[in-house]
Amino acid sequence: MAAADALAVQLAAVWPALAVLIVLGIVVAIIGGLVEWRRKWPHGYGRTCNRPLCPCWPSQVARLRREGSRS
């Protein structure tokens, strides 16, 4: 019984730190996902982009693939 009580005390002491680490992990994953999304789609999915030569347009992507990357 004393071992169970000692385990409960240790778990109670560690639980807040584990909760903080879990929340921080979720926040970092969300921020990382947003950064990755922003890198892939810097200004929308093409429908919202008003730059005519922007590579986010499907026609521009196809043209760039045909011509090859010159950058």
48 and 24 inside one domain: no
57 and 31 inside one domain: no
- Angstrom distance (rounded) from CA 6 to CA 33: 40
**How confident is residue 46, by pLDDT bands cut at 50, 70 and 90?**
very low
pLDDT digits (tens, 9 = 90+) for 22-36: 999 999 999 998 877
Prediction pTM value:
0.49
57 and 25 inside one domain: no
At residue 52, the pLDDT reads 66
31 and 54 inside one domain: no
5 and 36 inside one domain: yes
CB contact at 8 A, 25 and 36: no
**How confident is residue 62, by pLDDT bands cut at 50, 70 and 90?**
confident
At residue 50, the pLDDT reads 62
At residue 70, the pLDDT reads 58
35 and 51 inside one domain: no
Residues in the chain: 71
CB contact at 8 A, 55 and 65: no
Residue-range definition of the domain harbouring residue 17: 1-40
26 and 48 inside one domain: no
52 and 30 inside one domain: no
